[in-house]
Structure 1
Amino acid sequence: MTPSRRRWTIAAASFVALLAAAWLALIVFVPSDDELALRVEAEFESRLGQKLVVGSVQWRLLGGAMVEVRDAHTVQPESIRVRRLTVHPELLPLLRRQIVIDRLEVEGAEVPRDALAAYRGREKGGQGSLLLREVVFSDVTYISYSGIPVVYAGEIRFGDDAMPQHLRIERPEMAQPTSLEARREGAVEGGAYVYRLQLQAAGGSAQGQARLSTTPEGGMRLQGELEPRGVEVESLLKAFNRRSPISGLASGKTELSAEGDSYAELFRSLHTRSVLRVERARILRFNMEKAVKSLGEDRSGETALESLNGVVDTQNTEQGMKTEFTQVKAVSGPYTAYGRATLYRRQIDAEGKVETGGGVVEVPFTVKGPTREPEFGIAWGAIAGAVAGTAVLPGIGTVLGAKIGGVLSAPTRPQAEPKAP
């Protein structure tokens, strides 16, 4: 036997021995499906502090190593449920006591936001020598703080440095494509990883960049920018099972920022600030002209706006997303409205003023209470009287429309302004 052939024979024998050792290791560590199910439950509780109930576990080596978990749920007031989770591990790293997962698949899951609170602070703990290369998920329902379910699908690929290389999240089965894609381009000076962002939603798109870096304290910091173009507001919120008060095509600039010790903490701390303008805007389910003429009794219909601009800030919090609207300006015919609003924990708190008569008349308004049935407070009679006065006697409109301040004390129908003689 030649030396070259001998080397190949030894290498082949060594490879077979390694496979045999890996097989024996799996036989020792995974003696049966039932025992593996018990081990999965025990390991989950040990690492994450919550009980887990597993319906069944199956595993195989031929055709590629695979462990499949079916019908699992956590024991919590609001359970996390997984219909099917499949792990595709590599065999040889097991000999080095290292777990390398080529692909983790989640098919069918329900994740209430409140249930995730029990795992905070444990995201980075107990990982050991685990290396995850790819996560693929489909039919995963996330239930927000306000109880709104939204179904997602997507994939995340990681590099050997355990940092995300490519991420794609989408809303499946939408009439218009709704997705976010982030692709890593490299590292810049200072150690920040640069990601190219591409968003498609509601007939529009947004492109931008994000930078993921390490803080002096050892945590992670995310900063980025997006430029949305032609995103239809009503369709966008409808895609996430939310009801929009306006429609129109939004464009502008958005800044992103977040900090945390894990990816979960980054998501929980995410803050966005958007300076937007909305073209072809309409106020839905509210007709200003009817409201004025009926002194607020009839508001049905819509209000076309000549222009709508404002700043929108969103902040993820422990109790859901907090959204603030500031520097809002809306123009519709003889009316110009200015205001600000806060949406948080299913409540709205808004205030502002409506101007008419060239800015001479100012009527304050408030909107407060549950988002589904808020209470409106506005002096409809003051607006109607001012409009009539400036229309009939424009020469003395400044007198008839002397600025109204403090006329709003409660969301009730006020007395109509006296008509001009």
Structure 2
Amino acid sequence: MNPSPPTTPPRRRALVAAATLAALLAAAWLAWWALVPTSDELARRVEAVFEARMGQKLVVGQVRWRVLGRPMVEVLDARTVQPEVIRVRRVAIYPQLMPLLRQRLAIDRLELDGALVPHGAMAAYRGKTPDESGAMFVRAVAFNDLTYISYSGIPVVYEGDIHFDDDRLVHRLRLRRPGVEPPVSLDATRDGKADGGADLYQLRVQAAGGSARGQARLATSAEGRMVLTGELAPRGVEVNALLEAFHRHSPINGAASGETELRAEGDTAGELFRTLHTRSVLRVERAKILRFDIDKAVKSLGEDRAGETPLDSLTGVMDTQNTEQGMKTTFTQVEAVAGNYTATGQATLYRKRVDAQGQLEIGGGIVDVPISAHGPLRKPEFSIAWGTIAGAAIGTAVLPGIGTVIGAKIGGAVTGPPKAPPASPRSR
């Protein structure tokens, strides 16, 4: 009878299984090491893909990634190669693994930290998208310490987040100016459908001690373009504080309230922003003109202007239009009343310059004095017909009798007749 074959001891079988597993893991690690690119190789791939799709060169400092736990790809110290450089300190991408098996990139969250975006650099990317096939979907974007430099060269820092629905439309947008007091923020939330089928958004703005509530509608035109319309009702917004929140200075102060309409049209979200037009009918409570005392200026025929001018009332219409060269702001139907003075006129602010014309009425309209301002916003040239004021006030009009009567009334309006204009070239 043949003896039975010897059996492998349990301990030996465990050692064989462990050795086999170790060999398989080593082989898998070697295959992974051979197939997966290094950080430097991955950085070069990111540069090549960006240039191929966007038409601009990109320099990437480092790329880090992980698969275990929550998958993540992190791009560090990236900058474009163009006259006005876009810089990003960190971009973190959190993809979903399962859609990758279907050759679809679904990103749960994209984080952007420490970006510098000059206005002039954006023109190179018009009409280009990072994913033309539609195989990429982003669920949420968060940005922090994002600095946008406007056409006028003023840097402004923003932070916020954007969440998208399954149809790729924005579900909620939040935008804030960090470190600003009083706070300045925008919150837009998708809220069903409006009449006609347009997507409805509720708008809430917190601005410089005041607020604005309203709604916007996003529809599609017959030509297939996106059309955005909406209304806002600003209440108690401090004008000077609002402009200072964006590193700009206002010639007036006061609490503005009124009604605002907005409209934009474009094929992309970026084009909607670039074509945004607003029209606001405003009234300003507790208004005053900063850095200019109109009573002093009239009495001294322009020699002394230092101070402020409290206004009894200030109303007007403000239109803003985003353009390729920054925002164009137009003021019309402006009327400011300060005691015996009433100023009316219009003004345009565009490309760092001001162009304003109007009339200064003195003593209830007895004399209309032309006024204007032209030139760079930092230092415009003011023109006021001081001779008209002096001539009327001292009774030297063409008709002496009428001139004397006018002079007496003007004298009372400005508390005593002004002196004659100085005979200098500047006054003339």
Which TM bucket (shorter chain)? Answer: 0.7 to 0.9
Is the CA contact (8 Å cut-off) linking 2:62 and 2:75 kept in structure 1? yes
2:253 matches 1:239: no
Say whether 1:54 aligns with 2:60: yes
In the other structure, the counterpart of 2:154 is 148
Q: Residue type matched to 2:384 in 1?
A: I
2:392·2:403 contact (CA, 8 Å) conserved in 1?
A: no
Shift of 1:172: 0.3
SS of aligned partner of 1:209: strand
Q: What is residue 366 of structure 1 aligned with on the other side?
A: 372
Deviation at 1:357, TM superposition (A): 2.1
- Where does residue 5 of structure 1 map in the other structure? none
Q: Deviations over 1:103-150 (max 9, x none)?
A: 000010100000001001114862531111000000000000000000
1:193 partnered with 2:199 = yes
1:183 corresponds to 2:197 = no
Specify the SS of the correspondent of 1:147.
coil
Structure 2 partner of 1:301? 307
Residue 404 of structure 2 corresponds to residue 413 of structure 1: no
Could you tell me how far 1:412 is from its partner in structure 2?
A: 3.8
Aligned: 1:44 with 2:50: yes
- Which entry has the higher C-alpha Rg, 1 or 2? 2
Distance in 2, matches of 1:235 and 1:133, equals 35
Asked whether the 8 Å contact 1:347–1:368 carries over to 2, the reply is yes
In 1, Cα distance between equivalents of 2:34 and 2:170: 33
Residue 81 of structure 1 corresponds to 87
* Range that drifts further, 187-196 or 296-305: 187-196
Alignment partners' CA distance in 1, 2:57 and 2:31: 27
The one of 151, 161, 165 equivalent to 1:159 is 165
Task: Give the equivalent residue in structure 1 for 2:336.
Answer: 330
For the residue of structure 2 that corresponds to 1:100, the secondary structure is strand
Classify 1:294/1:318 alpha carbon distance in 2 versus 1 (closer, same or farther; 3 Å): same
Once the two structures are TM-superposed, the CA of residue 388 in structure 1 deviates from its matched residue by 6.5
> What residue identity is the alignment partner of 2:229?
Q
Identity %: 63
CA distance in 2, matches of 1:334, 1:340: 20
Indicate conservation of the 8 Å contact 2:193/2:200, yes or no. yes
- Give the whole-Å Cα distance in 2 for the aligned partners of 1:200 and 1:224: 17
CA distance in 1 between partners of 2:261 and 2:426 (Å): 40
User: Aligned match of 2:96 in 90, 101, 120?
Assistant: 90
Code of the aligned partner of 1:380: W
Is this contact kept in 1: 2:54–2:130, CA < 8 A?
no
Alpha carbons of 1:45 and 1:395: their partners in 2 closer, same or farther (altered >3 Å)? closer
d(CA) in 1 for partners of 2:391, 2:248: 37
Change in CA separation of 1:354 and 1:325 when aligned onto 2, cut-off 3 Å: same
Instruction: Give, in angstroms, the shift of residue 398 of structure 1.
Output: 4.8
1:248-287 matches, within 5 Å, as 248-287=254-293
Q: Structure 1 residues 309, 388: closer, same or farther in 2, change over 3 A? A: farther
Distance in 2 (CA, whole Å) between partners of 1:387 and 1:113 is 51
Amino acid aligned to 2:164 = F
For 1:377-419, what per-residue CA distance to the aligned partner results, in whole angstroms no more than 9, with x for missing partners? 1112423554566xxx9996458789xxxxxxxx9414xxxxx
Maintained 8 Å contact 2:228/2:265: yes
Partner of 2:120: 114
CA distance in 2, matches of 1:25, 1:195: 51
What is the letter of the counterpart of residue 233 of structure 1?
Answer: V
Bigger mean CA deviation after superposition, 30-39 or 335-344: 30-39
Partner-residue secondary structure (3-state), 1:172: coil
For residue 382 of structure 2, give the secondary structure of its aligned residue in structure 1: strand
- After superposition, the Cα gap between the structure-2 partners of 1:281 and 1:263, relative to the gap in structure 1 and judged at 3 Å, is same
Choose the corresponding residue for 2:224, options 209, 218, 226.
Answer: 218
CA distance in 1, matches of 2:405, 2:176: 55
Pair 360,24 (structure 1): closer, same or farther in 2 beyond 3 Å? farther
The code of the aligned residue for 2:224 comes to G
Preserved contact between residue 135 and residue 155 of structure 1 (Cα < 8 Å): yes
Offset, 1:293: 1.6
Write the letter of the residue equivalent to 1:221.
V
Report how many residues are paired.
381
CA-based RMSD of the aligned residues comes to 2.4
Q: Tell me by how many angstroms 1:365 deviates.
A: 1.0
Secondary structure of 1:58's aligned partner: strand
Aligned counterparts of 1:179 and 1:143: Cα–Cα separation in 2: 19
Indicate if the aligned counterparts of 1:324 and 1:341 stay in contact, CA closer than 8 A: yes
Q: What 5-or-longer segments of structure 2 have no aligned partner?
A: 1-28, 396-400, 411-424
The TM-score with structure 2 as length reference comes to 0.85
Name the CA distance, whole Å, in 2 between partners of 1:124 and 1:322.
30
Match of 1:128 among 126, 131, 134: 134
Change (3 A) 1:282 1:413: same
